[in-house]
Amino acid sequence: VQLQASGGGLVQPGGSMRLSCEVSGFTLYTYAIGWFRQAPGKEREGISCIKNGEATTYYTDSTEGRFTISVDNDKNTVYLQMADLKPEDTGVYYCATPARARTDCSRYTYLYHTWGQGTQVTVSS
């Protein structure tokens, strides 16, 4: 089971960016995939999660309405489309999945077993 996050970089405030989480070693449709971020000096927080390729949950008031999670089952990839980015969105973004299939989405990091390596997002002018 592996997750590979990519798509980060430097973007100006107000800009957009799409992160990708490519998964391998398991059937994407049966697992919840969560996106998390860790800002400098802060704890890792849950942003959003998708399960069964359809159900989506958003955990952070500051990103809801600006961030959209989606999935392409044919490409085994989960996306996080980010719009109207703000400097406070800066951080390392991770995707993760629980140890067992059909586990519900959760905002809590300890419920996730396998993590991607993270991709840095920097929002700055």
Per residue in 81-122, pLDDT tens?
999 999 999 999 999 999 888 888 999 999 999 999 999 999
Compute the average pLDDT of residues 2-18: 97
Pairing of strands 91-97, 33-38: antiparallel
Per residue in 20-59, pLDDT tens?
999 998 888 888 999 999 999 999 999 999 988 776 777 7
Please report the pLDDT score of residue 57 as a whole number.
78
Pairing of strands 9-11, 119-123: parallel
| β-pair partners for 120 | 92
d(CA 118, CA 36): 9
How many CA atoms are closer than 13 Å to the CA of 85, on its beta-carbon side?
A: 23
